[in-house]
């Protein structure tokens, strides 16, 4: 998992060709027999479900800007991330031809804006999905759902205040793999060293050693000159393993062991030394089974 998940990054897909009419207008009352926008709500639901009816729903300008294949990619990504669509409804009419939408997915609720042409058949001229909010009950309910999952689960949620109040915990003292979350320790040490003046984000180092994807820098020339900022950005935004291993080499395992202790890990020796991604992968290979067991 990358920092895109660790920091709770939020998805906002936009597909529109014109601004939704009167987006900021106050709510108004319109004759119930003249609200063309309502005629397209069912079609929007069908499109989000994956039906291939774009040519029957959108006007030419929209289709030129967002071809059907691209639109289907957007909707497929939303279903994969947020679950199937349960409901599409008008939250607020802005005019007879424009409205705010409420789109209920299995796991999230999205906000949207729609604009349709005034003349029949009222093709959709603009559609924008502006953000998502997670659905769910209380932390206790969520913890219970996680506990019911197969396998081994662990959860610890603390309030970020002076007392670090614990809100929810589930097997909080058990030992779990943290996958790419370990890259946050590297980022923390980099930030600390830049703040202290030991390093600068503009410092240039040679790329290497190379590792495997994910990422892109494994395809760059060996020893390419790159800044610490570029390496850190790739490590966090793309979970780039070659950038990560380069930073581990530059920082050094001793410094990384110090930051693990400084940030409050209960058993810092569990991840000392902090291995490069290429080293961790090697230990997972069958021929390295004996070496791996010595680390457990």
Tell me the CATH number at 246.
Answer: 3.40.710.10
> Among the three residues 134, 164, 194, which one is the final residue of a domain in this structure?
134
Entry pTM:
0.53
118 inside domain: yes
> What CA–CA distance (Å, rounded) separates 117 from 11?
28
Tokens read off for 171 = 């097997």
Question: Do residue 129 and residue 29 come from a single domain?
Answer: yes
Residue 264 confidence (pLDDT): 85
> Among the three residues 112, 134, 156, which one is the final residue of a domain in this structure?
134
Tokens read off for 275 = 């291995």
Question: Do residue 16 and residue 116 come from a single domain?
Answer: yes
> What CA–CA distance (Å, rounded) separates 147 from 151?
9
257 inside domain: yes
22 inside domain: yes
Question: Do residue 199 and residue 113 come from a single domain?
Answer: no
DSSP string, 149-198: SSS---EEEE-SSTT--EEEEESTTS----GGGGHHHHHHHHHHHHHHTS
| Digitized pLDDT (tens) for each residue of the chain, 296 residues in all | 333 333 233 233 334 333 333 333 334 444 445 689 999 999 999 999 999 999 999 999 999 999 999 999 999 999 998 999 999 999 999 999 999 999 999 989 999 999 999 999 999 999 999 888 887 667 887 888 888 888 899 998 888 877 888 999 999 889 888 889 999 999 999 999 999 999 999 999 999 999 988 899 999 999 999 999 999 999 999 999 999 999 999 999 989 999 999 988 889 999 889 999 998 888 877 655 554 444 44
> What CA–CA distance (Å, rounded) separates 199 from 188?
13
**Of 18, 254, 196, whose CA–CA distance to 116 is shortest?**
18
> What CA–CA distance (Å, rounded) separates 47 from 88?
11
Residue 33 confidence (pLDDT): 55
Asked if 27 and 103 touch (Cβ cutoff 8 Å), the reply is: no
57 inside domain: yes
2 inside domain: no
SS3 224: coil
DSSP 8-state code for residue 52? -
Question: Do residue 91 and residue 121 come from a single domain?
Answer: yes
Question: Do residue 123 and residue 163 come from a single domain?
Answer: no
Asked if 241 and 214 touch (Cβ cutoff 8 Å), the reply is: yes
Instruction: Please give the residue range of the domain that contains residue 119.
Output: 11-134
146 inside domain: yes
Residue identified by tokens 């597909």 is: 15
Question: Do residue 127 and residue 202 come from a single domain?
Answer: no
Number of compact structural domains in the chain: 3
Question: Do residue 208 and residue 221 come from a single domain?
Answer: yes
Residue 173 confidence (pLDDT): 87
> What CA–CA distance (Å, rounded) separates 24 from 27?
9
Question: Do residue 98 and residue 80 come from a single domain?
Answer: yes
Question: Do residue 100 and residue 169 come from a single domain?
Answer: no
Question: Do residue 222 and residue 289 come from a single domain?
Answer: yes
Question: Do residue 253 and residue 148 come from a single domain?
Answer: no
Question: Do residue 127 and residue 42 come from a single domain?
Answer: yes
5 inside domain: no
Tokens read off for 285 = 């290979």
> What CA–CA distance (Å, rounded) separates 98 from 90?
10
The beta strand positions in 184-295, using DSSP E, are 204-206, 225-227
């Amino acid at each position: 998992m990358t920092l895109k998940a660790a920091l709770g990054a939020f998805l906002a897909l936009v597909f529109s060709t014109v601004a939704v009419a009167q987006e900021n207008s106050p709510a108004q009352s319109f004759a119930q027999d003249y609200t063309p926008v309502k005629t397209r709500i069912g079609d929007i639901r069908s499109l989000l479900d994956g039906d291939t009816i774009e040519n029957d729903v959108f006007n030419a300008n929209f289709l030129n800007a967002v071809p059907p294949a691209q639109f289907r990619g957007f909707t497929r990504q939303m279903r994969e991330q947020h679950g199937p669509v349960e409901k599409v409804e008008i939250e607020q009419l802005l005019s007879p031809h424009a409205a705010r939408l409420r789109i209920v997915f299995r796991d999230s609720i999205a906000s949207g804006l729609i604009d349709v042409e005034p003349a029949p058949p009222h093709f959709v001229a603009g559609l924008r999905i502006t953000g998502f909010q997670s659905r769910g009950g209380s932390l206790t309910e969520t913890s219970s759902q996680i506990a019911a999952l197969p396998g081994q689960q662990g959860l610890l949620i603390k309030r970020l205040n002076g007392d670090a109040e614990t809100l929810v915990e589930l097997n909080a003292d058990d030992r779990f793999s943290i996958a790419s979350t370990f890259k946050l320790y590297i980022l923390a040490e980099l930030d600390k060293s830049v703040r202290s003046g030991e390093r600068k984000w503009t410092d240039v180092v040679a790329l290497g050693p190379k590792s495997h994807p994910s990422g892109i820098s494994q395809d760059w020339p060996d020893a390419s000159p790159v800044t610490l900022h570029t390496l850190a950005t790739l490590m966090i935004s793309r979970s780039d393993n070659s950038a990560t291993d380069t930073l581990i080499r530059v920082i050094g395992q001793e410094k990384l062991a110090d930051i693990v202790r400084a940030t409050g890990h209960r058993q810092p020796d569990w991840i000392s030394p902090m291995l490069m991604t290429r080293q961790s992968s090697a230990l997972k290979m069958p021929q390295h089974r004996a070496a791996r067991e010595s680390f457990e």
